[in-house]
A and B are shown apart, each in its own frame.
Chain A
Amino acid sequence: TAGITQAPTSQILAAGRSMTLRCTQDMRHNAMYWYRQDLGLGLRLIHYSNTAGTTGKGEVPDGYSVSRANTDDFPLTLASAVPSQTSVYFCASSLTADNTGELFFGEGSRLTVL
């Protein structure tokens, strides 16, 4: 079972360029999340989606946008990348929207903005 697949695994991006991180899950989970992980900090929620067709802002949404056109896909877009967006990005999903269950994480996308 694939679980959650993220692409690309890593990317170097010039500041000012746009980038979409892809996330696909095959577990038919209702809720999906995008986190960033930076050294010395806990995982920080960027955006989330409780169900297909809906999205919400997390703790650090500025500079990022998401869409949830269907259950399986939850892409994260950086419209104009800045160096402070250098991070490891994790997509995650859970069966229910109220976080009553565990999160399943993708393998992460390491993004470097120069």
Chain B
Amino acid sequence: GQNIDQPTEMTATEGAIVQINCTYQTSGFNGLFWYQQHAGEAPTFLSYNVLDGLEEKGRFSSFLSRSKGYSYLLLKELQMKDSASYLCAVRDSNYQLIWGAGTKLIIKP
């Protein structure tokens, strides 16, 4: 079967750095997405990785290792507004998106 694993919840301090991990086992691989979802709102796109390595976009970076079936989302200089759920999704060989259950990130002052 296909599976995406993420921690259910993480807590971090304002101004700090946090890394959210995602491991996957899917039928093929055609890219990995990270989305942010604030409580009661729609998911919004953060990043996309299809090749190994680090993609940096402002305070957010996303890393991919295809051989390990592993990605992480790195958030720097955390702000209170970063409190949200972070969803990892993998596009499989049929170009269907498989979604993780999401990681709820709690930021404390």
Binding site for B on A (CB under 8 A): 40-45, 90, 98-100, 102-108
Contacts and interface: CB of A to CB of B under 8 A. Distances in A.
A100 B31 CA distance: 8
A2 B4 CA distance: 32
B49 to A, nearest CB: 13
A40 B30 CA distance: 25
B106 interface: no
Nearest to A39: B101
B29 to A, nearest CB: 13
30 contacts: A40-B8, A41-B101, A42-B4, A42-B87, A42-B89, A42-B98, A42-B99, A42-B102, A43-B89, A43-B97, A43-B99, A45-B96, A45-B97, A90-B42, A99-B91, A99-B95, A99-B96, A100-B95, A102-B45, A102-B48, A103-B35, A103-B45, A103-B97, A105-B42, A105-B43, A106-B42, A107-B42, A108-B40, A108-B41, A108-B42
Contact of B33 (A98, A102, A104, A105): A102
A103 B33 CA distance: 10
A10 B42 CA distance: 14
Contacts, number: 46
B41 A107 contact: yes
Contacts of B30: 99
Contacts of A108: 40-42
Contacts of B91: 99
Contacts of B100: 42
Interface in B1-52: 4, 8, 30-31, 33, 35, 40-45, 48
